Amino acid sequence: MPALDPQLPAHRAQCPHCDLELTVPLLYGGQLARCPRCNDVLCRIPLRAFDAPLAYALAALVFLLLSFSFPLIGMTVEGVHQQITILSSAETLFHEDFALIADLLLLVLLFTPALFLAATSYVYLALRLQKRWIGLRSATQLAASSRPWMMVDVFALAILVSMIKLVSLAEIQFGLSFWSLLLFSLTLTKTAALIDEHWLNYQLDKLYGEDPAENWQQTGLCCRSCGKRNPAAATRCMRCQHHLSPRRPRSLQLTAGLLVTAALLYIPANIYPIMLTESLRSNEASTILEGVVIMWNLGSYPIAFIIFIASILVPIAKFSALTLLCCAAYARKGAGASASARRYTQLYRITELIGRWSMVDVFVVAILVALVRMGKVMSVYPGIAALSFTGVVIFTMLAAMSFDIRLIWDKRIHKESPAHD
């Protein structure tokens, strides 16, 4: 059995963003390698590469359990006390006929993080013990695919926004689960930052007795699922049977279709109310923009600014960025010069990064609907726009995932390398 060695020897690699074939130098713990053309991080080896991700993943699992075991937040209005848990928030949304948002809440806060952490712990424990357990490749792929759908940090921000909204109307108490959730968010983020699929695939090659140098020195198609390099004529990966293709099939058509769907949903998301508030004094229905105006008039300028950016500016920015990227890929506008293509690639990375933060407003509604349930004294109900806006966030995220950024570089690659023509 090979000894534990976090080093990554020099090898050939293929940049996932610009498809450049290059040689990655010898890397030690704490070092990283970037693509010289598009500046994408090809590989990052953390210090204590075998122990740190496992330790953070196990800690995050403990905080995950605590986050769902105790009260999250509570409030008191005119002697009436109410407290909620994350599960009770989902249950309230389900009873209000917003089952889709309830399911999404549990998916991004419980099931997806739990799968990610369990898969990560399983793989790194096997590497640490040098055990060839079954399904290590599948667990690695599961952890990688679930990472974009974890939104614990977004939910933590939504709690703070909700509390600032209510602090002038009620007495607020933070439960044990709130502090556990903050620690869960930090440890989960740190775990995800420590994982590098490129390095993991190399370590799994060694664990299974394969020759990583032989795998990575040969030319051919690189599997985007497991990293295995296959012969150029192969249609499926020899290791994981994933479909092989030089470019993502019908990437532009799929991205455009998802983008149009999101744009259509964005109309009712802004026209109809996202939240309904009933009290002894009045009944109010507020749209997303009206919520921003209300917070601004109340003097909560940071909260108004956060909601405006997350719920209005970010979706519009994503629509514009993805439309520009699709047009550039179709016309190959970035392919004539590295500087232009590099700017489009940076725009794509930013678009991927900011997309999930638009869920802040939906999570705020989910929290307030569950927490503010005090009959005629004060109650909050979800509006139909919450469902539409959830669709906007999901479809824009899927549109960004379906876009193949390598299309931006295609003409330049063809010009530089006649073998690709």
User: Which pLDDT value is given to residue 335?
Assistant: 55
pLDDT tens digits, 302-322: 888 888 888 899 999 999 999
312-339 b/e (C-beta count within 10 Å ≥ 16 → b): bebbebbbebbbebbebbeebbbbeebe
Q: Over 50: is that where the pLDDT of 419 sits?
A: no
- Domain for residue 19, yes or no? yes
pLDDT band at 212 (very low <50, low <70, confident <90, very high): low
Q: Same structural domain for residues 5 and 136?
A: no
Q: Same structural domain for residues 74 and 201?
A: yes
pLDDT band at 281 (very low <50, low <70, confident <90, very high): low
Mean pLDDT of 20-47: 86
Q: Same structural domain for residues 299 and 400?
A: yes
pLDDT band at 165 (very low <50, low <70, confident <90, very high): confident
CATH code, domain carrying 345: 1.20.140
- 244, 241, 32: which is closest to 137 by C-alpha? 241
* CA distance linking residue 106 with residue 102, whole number of Å: 6
- 201, 55, 47, 66: which is closest to 117 by C-alpha? 55
User: Which pLDDT value is given to residue 1?
Assistant: 53
16-40 b/e (C-beta count within 10 Å ≥ 16 → b): bbbbbeeebeebeeeeebebebbeb
Mean pLDDT of 86-111: 90
pLDDT band at 266 (very low <50, low <70, confident <90, very high): very high
Q: Same structural domain for residues 118 and 19?
A: no
pLDDT band at 413 (very low <50, low <70, confident <90, very high): very low
* CA distance linking residue 180 with residue 333, whole number of Å: 48
- 11, 47, 43, 44: which is closest to 29 by C-alpha? 47
Q: Same structural domain for residues 267 and 288?
A: yes
User: Which pLDDT value is given to residue 415?
Assistant: 40
- Domain for residue 372, yes or no? yes
Among 210, 231, 260, identify where a domain stops: 210
- Domain for residue 217, yes or no? no
Q: Over 90: is that where the pLDDT of 285 sits?
A: no
Average model confidence (pLDDT) across the chain: 84
Q: Same structural domain for residues 39 and 78?
A: no
Q: Same structural domain for residues 142 and 279?
A: no
Q: Same structural domain for residues 204 and 74?
A: yes
User: Which pLDDT value is given to residue 374?
Assistant: 64
Radius of gyration of the chain (CA): 24
- Domain for residue 226, yes or no? no
Q: Same structural domain for residues 204 and 325?
A: no
* Higher local confidence (pLDDT), 50 or 279: 50
Q: What is the domain extent for residue 35?
A: 1-48
What is the percent of the chain with per-residue pLDDT over 90, rounded to a whole number?
36
Q: Report the 10 Å Cβ neighbour count for 193.
A: 12
- Domain for residue 231, yes or no? no
- Domain for residue 166, yes or no? yes
Q: Same structural domain for residues 182 and 70?
A: yes
Q: Same structural domain for residues 193 and 74?
A: yes
3-state secondary structure of 131: coil
- Domain for residue 219, yes or no? no
The number of folded domains in the chain is 3
Q: Same structural domain for residues 35 and 67?
A: no
Quote the DSSP letter at residue 377. Answer: S
Q: Over 60: is that where the pLDDT of 334 sits?
A: no
Instruction: Determine which of 15-19, 67-71, 230-234 has the lowest per-residue pLDDT on average.
Output: 230-234
Q: Over 60: is that where the pLDDT of 296 sits?
A: yes
